[in-house]
């Protein structure tokens, strides 16, 4: 109770500048959690979903999980030396960034299958954990898990303080993001909807039960797959959803089509100085990673979704910024 009083007295979103985006979040929480409000939402129905890459943490110049997969290739080849002279492994082993950047989607899929499946869930967890400790972002020279957006951490905390269950709904791998989501975002494994691969139950040599990651997709958690994954993992329509690309459009449609007060928000990366600037919406540079087209921007205006300008709405980007 003391915490609640303090939260009301203080600004719960200090890294947000005053403006329509901040106001929309404050209004949404107020009208859905005030018992006297006609748009009051019972606690058990308070669900908020967040895309991860580009919404909760930095996705440029390339998704962290793709970097993980590329970094894992030497270990995979060590275990299976016959792959050494086979493409695309051969190219990745050269370390030639330009050549690696030119790999086609089918090559990338081969690398993902080789580095994300075949091991037990526990071994995978240990591998990702070890990688996160040593890997550094090429521009900021910090662990990827430090490149999280302070304003979004405040939104997560603010929503949870008002009874919302916060979920990640990411195109990234469910098992990958689970490794750090609890510590980094306060989001437990059971609130992690991601791209899901099948696991197979079996026994290790010592007879202990194991789950082995299979190269078979259960859910491609992107576009229509996001509401499909939300239905499967949560079984309730969210009241608020945050994203940053057309991959989140269906999630925002699904969320904001519900009755009562609903909140849809999209992060626009328009801050080359503190993070990155890419669109092509609003004349921002083109990109292959996390594009935000003008059509999505226009749709947001049309649907009453809020576009968050990183440059104008956030007075601080990362926790380590002063």
Query: What residue ranges bind its own copies (CB under 8 A)?
Result: 44, 121, 165, 174-175, 178, 182, 188-190, 192, 196, 198-202, 208-209, 211, 218-219, 223-225, 227-228, 231-236, 250, 253-254, 257
Name which of Ca ion, its own copies, none residue 211 binds, using a CB cut-off of 5 to 8 Å depending on partner kind.
its own copies
Q: How far is the CB of 1 from its own copies (least distance, A)?
A: 13
Comparing CB distances to Ca ion, the nearer of 239 and 278 is: 278
Q: How far is the CB of 47 from its own copies (least distance, A)?
A: 8
Q: How far is the CB of 3 from its own copies (least distance, A)?
A: 17
Q: How far is the CB of 168 from Ca ion (least distance, A)?
A: 11
Three-class SS string for the chain?
CHHHHHHHHCCCCCCECCCHHHHHHHHHHHHHHCCCCCCCCCHHHCEEEECCECCCECCCCCCHHHHHHHHHHHHHHHHCHHHCCCCCHHHHHHCCHHHHHCCCHHHHHHHHHHHHCCCEHHHHHHHHHHHHHHCCCCCCCCCHHHCECHHHHHHHHHHHHCCCEEEEEEEEEHHHHHHHHHHHHCCCHHHEEEEEEEEEEEECCCCCEEEEEEEEEEECCCCCHHHHHHHHHCCCCCCEEEECCHHHHHHHHHHHCCCCCCEEEEEECECCCCCCECCEHHHCCCCCCCCECHHHHHHHHHHCCEEEEHHHHECCCCCCCC
Comparing CB distances to its own copies, the nearer of 13 and 187 is: 187
Comparing CB distances to Ca ion, the nearer of 60 and 165 is: 60
Comparing CB distances to Ca ion, the nearer of 194 and 197 is: 194
| Cα 262 from chain centroid (whole Å) | 20
Name which of Ca ion, its own copies, none residue 244 binds, using a CB cut-off of 5 to 8 Å depending on partner kind.
Ca ion
Q: How far is the CB of 254 from its own copies (least distance, A)?
A: 5
Name which of Ca ion, its own copies, none residue 257 binds, using a CB cut-off of 5 to 8 Å depending on partner kind.
its own copies
Name which of its own copies, Ca ion, none residue 231 binds, using a CB cut-off of 5 to 8 Å depending on partner kind.
its own copies
Comparing CB distances to its own copies, the nearer of 108 and 119 is: 119
Contacting positions for Ca ion (CB under 5 A): 51, 53-54, 244-245
Q: How far is the CB of 253 from its own copies (least distance, A)?
A: 5
Name which of Ca ion, its own copies, none residue 151 binds, using a CB cut-off of 5 to 8 Å depending on partner kind.
none
């Amino acid at each position: 109770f003391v915490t609640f009083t303090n939260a009301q007295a203080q600004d719960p979103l200090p890294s947000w500048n005053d403006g329509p985006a901040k106001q929309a979040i404050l209004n949404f929480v107020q009208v859905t959690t005030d018992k006297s409000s006609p748009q009051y939402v019972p606690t058990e129905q308070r669900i908020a979903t967040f895309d991860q890459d580009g919404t909760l943490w930095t996705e440029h110049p390339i998704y962290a999980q793709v970097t993980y997969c590329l970094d894992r290739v030497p270990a995979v080849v060590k275990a299976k030396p016959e792959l050494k002279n086979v493409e695309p492994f051969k190219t990745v082993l050269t370390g030639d960034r330009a050549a690696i950047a030119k790999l086609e989607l089918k090559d990338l899929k081969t690398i993902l299958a080789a580095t994300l499946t075949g091991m037990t869930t526990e071994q995978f967890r240990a591998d990702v954990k070890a990688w996160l400790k040593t890997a550094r972002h090429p521009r900021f020279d910090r662990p990827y898990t430090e490149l999280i957006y302070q304003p979004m951490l405040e939104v997560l905390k603010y929503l949870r303080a008002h009874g919302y269950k916060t979920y990640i709904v990411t195109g990234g791998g469910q098992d990958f993001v689970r490794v750090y989501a609890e510590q980094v975002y306060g989001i437990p494994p059971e609130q992690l909807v991601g791209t899901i691969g099948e696991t197979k139950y079996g026994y290790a040599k010592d007879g202990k039960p194991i789950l082995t990651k299979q190269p078979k997709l259960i859910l491609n958690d992107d576009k229509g797959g996001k509401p499909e994954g939300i239905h499967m993992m949560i079984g309730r329509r969210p009241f608020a959803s945050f994203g940053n690309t057309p991959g989140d459009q269906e999630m925002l449609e699904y969320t904001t089509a519900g009755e009562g007060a609903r909140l849809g928000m999209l992060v626009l990366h328009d801050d080359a100085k503190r993070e990155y600037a890419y669109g092509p919406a609003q004349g921002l540079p083109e990109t292959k990673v996390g594009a935000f087209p003008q059509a999505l921007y226009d749709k947001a205006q049309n649907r009453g979704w809020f576009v968050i300008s990183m440059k104008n709405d956030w007075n601080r980007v990362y926790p380590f910024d002063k």
